[in-house]
């Protein structure tokens, strides 16, 4: 069968995929949740959920520093990657020898589509449809919070998620207005003066990729004294697989602890 990915590239599978390598943490977790424990033969070192998968499946390097030779040794009949999280040059190299199927996630709709497509790709369509439907339903009645926010993903230099990112889309679904409104800026660096000038009402400090902690709160409070500084679980805002089933409940709990 012919399968078209989210970059509009197609691969042809003659049989049900029996040896799958996943190059993205959220997609590895999805494959595991789809019941593909025996088929999943390779994951990255960042694919930490669930713990059983992390302990039992061969690791093939980092998302942007793949061990190509190790992947080759696994002889996969299917590799699943992502445009933003994997390096184009490495994907192109793997595509010369293997069936590589890619996702391109910019918002919740893309994520839901990817889940459904991966379900078809791996012959787990019914289970994938159930997961996708659970996610759709959970986001339908999400309360709106009319506040401005900056979502920090890195320190030294300070970096934030722009509005035209997956994280930005989830923030907007909470009714949060990204203080950074420039459409073309995805993950820009900001100076202290720029942060102060944007003057957000909320500052979210993500647990990943930079591990912001309690000790960083005062640092940001000194920059924007009137902002609420909140440590957030980055996985709930940036993982676009089956974990999205639990994001809304996390958001509700998170916002219940704030002054809105």
> Average pLDDT over the chain, rounded to whole?
96
Distance CA 99, CA 5 (A): 11
pLDDT tens digits, 126-139? 999 999 999 999 99
Residue 255: is its pLDDT beyond 70? yes
pLDDT value of residue 5: 98
Secondary structure percentages of the chain, helix, strand, coil, to 5: 40, 20, 40
pLDDT value of residue 260: 58
Greater pLDDT, 260 or 254: 254
pLDDT value of residue 143: 81
pLDDT value of residue 141: 80
pLDDT value of residue 168: 97
- The arithmetic mean of pLDDT across residues 145-159, rounded, is 96
For each of the domains in the chain, give its residue range(s) and CATH number, in order of start. Answer: 2-138 (3.40.50.1980), 147-256 (3.40.50.1980)
If DSSP codes are grouped into helix, strand and coil, which group holds residue 104?
A: coil
If DSSP codes are grouped into helix, strand and coil, which group holds residue 143?
A: coil
Greater pLDDT, 72 or 145: 72
pLDDT tens digits, 174-198? 999 999 988 788 999 999 999 999 9
Q: Yes or no: say if 82 and 102 are a contact pair by the CB < 8 Å rule.
A: yes
pLDDT tens digits, 69-118? 999 999 999 999 999 999 999 999 999 999 999 999 999 999 999 999 99
Beta bridge partners of 232: 206
Residue 48: is its pLDDT beyond 70? yes
Enter the pTM of the model.
0.95
DSSP tag of 80? E
What the block records as the tokens of 42 is: 């390779």
- The arithmetic mean of pLDDT across residues 47-52, rounded, is 97
């Amino acid at each position: 069968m012919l399968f078209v990915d989210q970059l509009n590239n197609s691969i042809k599978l003659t049989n049900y995929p029996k040896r799958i390598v996943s190059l993205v943490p959220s997609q590895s977790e999805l494959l595991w949740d789809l019941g593909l424990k025996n088929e999943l033969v390779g994951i990255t070192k960042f694919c930490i959920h669930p713990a059983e998968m992390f302990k039992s499946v061969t690791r093939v390097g980092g998302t942007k520093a793949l061990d190509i030779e190790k992947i080759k040794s696994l002889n996969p009949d299917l590799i699943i990657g992502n445009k933003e999280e994997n390096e184009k040059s490495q994907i192109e190299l793997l595509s010369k020898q293997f069936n590589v199927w890619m996702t391109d996630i910019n918002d919740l709709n893309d994520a839901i589509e990817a889940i459904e497509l991966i379900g078809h790709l791996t012959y787990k369509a019914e289970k994938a449809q159930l997961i996708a439907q659970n996610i759709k339903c959970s986001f339908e009645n999400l309360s709106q919070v009319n506040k401005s926010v900056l979502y920090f993903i890195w320190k030294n230099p300070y970096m934030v998620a722009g509005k035209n990112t997956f994280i930005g889309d989830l923030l907007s679904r909470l009714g949060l207005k990204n203080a950074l409104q420039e459409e073309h800026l995805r993950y820009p660096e900001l100076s202290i003066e720029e942060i102060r000038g944007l003057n957000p009402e909320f500052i979210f400090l993500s647990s990943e990729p930079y591990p912001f902690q309690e000790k960083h709160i005062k640092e940001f409070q000194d920059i924007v004294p009137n902002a609420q500084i909140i440590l957030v679980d980055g996985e709930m805002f940036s993982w676009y697989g089956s974990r999205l089933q639990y994001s809304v409940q996390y958001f509700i709990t998170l916002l219940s602890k704030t002054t809105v």
